[in-house]
Structures are given as C-alpha cells and as structure tokens.
Chain A
Amino acid sequence: GESVGLHLPTLSVQEGDNSIINCAYSNSASDYFIWYKQESGKGPQFIIDIRSNMDKRQGQRVTVLLNKTVKHLSLQIAATQPGDSAVYFCADLSGGSYIPTFGRGTSLIVHP
C-alpha cells in the first residue's frame, strides 16, 4: 500500500521510550482539538481529544497538552511500542464549524 509517511517529519524512538509529537495550529478561534493515528493502509483513527477549557487530558498511555497562548498542541505517548508506529496528525475546529483543519502529520517509527 501507499506510504503516507513520505515527505512528513519523522520521529524515531526506541521501544519503551516516551514519544512527544507536536502540532501547531493557526486559528486562534479554535476550541476543539483531536489527535488521530493512521497506520499504513488504514484510515485515520481517533486517539484523544481536548477542548479549549482544558490544558491537559490523559488517556491510556497518551496525554494531550494544549497551550493556547502559542497555539500549540502535543501528544505524549508513554512506553512507546512497535504497534504505535504510524502517522499522527492533529485537527482543530473553531466554534460553530464542524469542518476540522487537519495538520500534515508526523511519522512515528518505533524501533524494537
């Protein structure tokens, strides 16, 4: 299948390390943010979301941090596993809109 990772920023980590993937957004009116994971040959899969009234939200092995001041979002993956290898991208929505703006993505490669 196609590789959506080509031409994307790449983060290479060792299995067991923590990974941090960053995303910048441009719309200061954005108030809802989503992280997706896309494995090769599959569609984007929802990981975690956060609304603008929060700075941090935790899920299973994942944490999303939101810094509205600098319009920055990060996804932290704890104890990264080979199965976490994928392209990760963020999306943001502004109030009143139901059409997200997607980031270009980061390719995460986990070495055993």
Chain B
Amino acid sequence: DAGITQSPRYKITETGRQVTLMCHQTWSHSYMFWYRQDLGHGLRLIYYSAAADITDKGEVPDGYVVSRSKTENFPLTLESATRSQTSVYFCASGQVRGAQHFGDGTRLSIL
C-alpha cells in the first residue's frame, strides 16, 4: 500500500544507547522531514531532506543524525540517547509546495 511507514511504533531504551528510527515512503516524494512532538511545544522540525544525499538541520537538530541514501528512506539516529529526547517522533514526506503526509509516529521513551 502506498503511504509512509515508521518503525518501530514504540521503543524504550536507556540513556547513552544509540537508537535508530526508520521511515519509509512509497510515493517517491522528493522531500522528507523528521519532527518531534512534545506537550507544550507542538511539532518541531529536527532535520529535513530535499532529495537523496541532501539533508539540512531544522529547529532542534542537536543529538540527532540523519541520512538519505535512497529517496524512499530517511532514518533518524539518536547517537547517545538522553532523557530529554523522550518524545513522539513523526516522519513526513511531500512534494515541493505541497502538503506534507505524516506517518503514525514512533513513541520513544528513554529511561
């Protein structure tokens, strides 16, 4: 089915661990985005990508790494997880000047 898929849906890990959140889209959209959503802050942009091998920092990039070797995949890595990175993470994709389409999120808890 066409769409955008995030995995895992839920993840619990410990501080200092490396965690990778996966995002896969089947629309061949050029643009992909990673957001985190926290109470009181709404959606905040972490990183985005305009095409394969092109990535840029968003509003809150510290502590995160992304890559985009293929158009359809945009993984987000927390290199050394901290409790402040406990959040719900959303991946989105879209075409230029169009609406973004979101996945159903990964709920990440860091103990």
Q: Interface size on A (CB < 8 Å)?
A: 26
Whether a CB of chain A sits under 8 angstroms from the CB of B103 is yes
Which residue on A lies nearest to B91, using beta carbons?
A: A43
Q: Do residues B97 and A32 form an inter-chain contact, with CB atoms below 8 A?
A: yes
Q: CB distance A102 to B90 under 8 Å?
A: no
A61: CB under 8 A from chain B?
no
Q: Report Cα–Cα, A89/B99, bound state, in Å.
A: 13
Q: Does A49 contact B (CB under 8 A)?
A: yes
The residues of B that contact A7 with a CB separation of less than 8 Å are 39-40
Number of interface residues of B (CB under 8 A): 25
Q: Classify the interface of chain A: helix, strand, loop or mixed.
A: loop
Q: Is A93 an interface residue (CB 8 A)?
A: yes
A37 to B97: give the CA distance in the assembly, Å: 19
> Of the candidates A42, A91, A99, A105, which one forms a contact with B104 in the assembled complex, judged by CB atoms under 8 Å apart?
A42
Secondary structure at the B interface, as helix, strand, loop or mixed, is: strand
Contacts of B48 in A (CB 8 A): 99
User: B43, A98: Cβ atoms under 8 Å?
Assistant: no
A104 within 8 Å of B (CB atoms): yes
Cross-chain contact A43 with B97 (CB below 8 angstroms): no
- Binary per-residue interface labels of chain B (22-51) against chain A in the complex, 1 for a CB within 8 Å, 0 otherwise: 000000000101000101101101001010
B68 within 8 A of A: no
Write the nearest CB–CB distance from A85 to chain B, whole angstroms: 18
With contacts A4-B37, A44-B100 known, what are 13 further pairs, Cβ within 8 A? A2-B39, A2-B107, A6-B40, A36-B102, A41-B105, A42-B104, A43-B90, A46-B101, A49-B99, A89-B42, A93-B97, A98-B94, A102-B42
